[in-house]
Structure 1
């Protein structure tokens, strides 16, 4: 009798399992997403110290962009330029702060800038070499931070929008530097 009950119970389990299966229907659903950068960085203006007539003993020219607002889009004539020696002639209005546009789609963005001489890899000085010669001027990297408007930009970036990071610095002109056009390349890295 016990064997018969067990067999009957097994038949009932299999019978219920077979009776409970239904037809399955499928539906395809497309899934998508848009990935957007939190910020975009674009160079607007190169940095130029303009036309300078230095004293024979050399000088340091300061391009100060620290007071430029974060909404000033052009570097032409932005900030202030001055010479360490009153006898050095610096052409006012003939200079540009370096300008980097930062567009952010999120609030409260901050960044740390880094500067490197593109040619030598130096992170302490950017070398400007005279066209057609080997004479050099030096842009002190430490002076870029103190002569930029980084704090104004970071304050403004509490809200999403477009802002302008202006770069300045101290350009050292050695004594008896030959006349000519001096240029160099700087890589600016913004770490967000």
Structure 2
């Protein structure tokens, strides 16, 4: 299977928070190859950090001020981001990679996607956009890992992103969209490889 591994950074987890960064990379679970030529990363415009600060969670205040400022100053307007993303999805390279001309839809891959990724994408890109381009089935690394912990194949500490990264000697979670999208795909490939041994 080929997947589009993606990650979103946001101003928080609440319903009215903003997407501020979107990163993605296609990869093939069969060959284990990451398609770096098709990786992309965009910042999405949001209000300034000072404007948002009164309603931000403390973790976001402590860790994401620089990212919020980057999105505010350099980010694409949401409508422009949507157009860039659609142009990418309709490009010949992407259509060929995922077999879209044969009627295939792209299967999204990520971690804890129900938290913000899918709700925010449905909200900001629209239901029709999501259904036109993406398969209704997704693959969520967090769900895969939870199942493997239940089966005692992975230790319980792997249920957190940082614990999973440490288990596979991959350092710390980056909390930048593209690096997290890449690392999430790499983790899945490492898990797959370890399960096949």
TM-score range, shorter chain: under 0.3
Provide the TM-score with structure 2 as the length reference: 0.23
Quick check: which one's strand share is greater?
1
Provide the TM-score with structure 1 as the length reference: 0.23
Quick check: which one's helix share is greater?
2
Which protein shows a greater Rg? 1
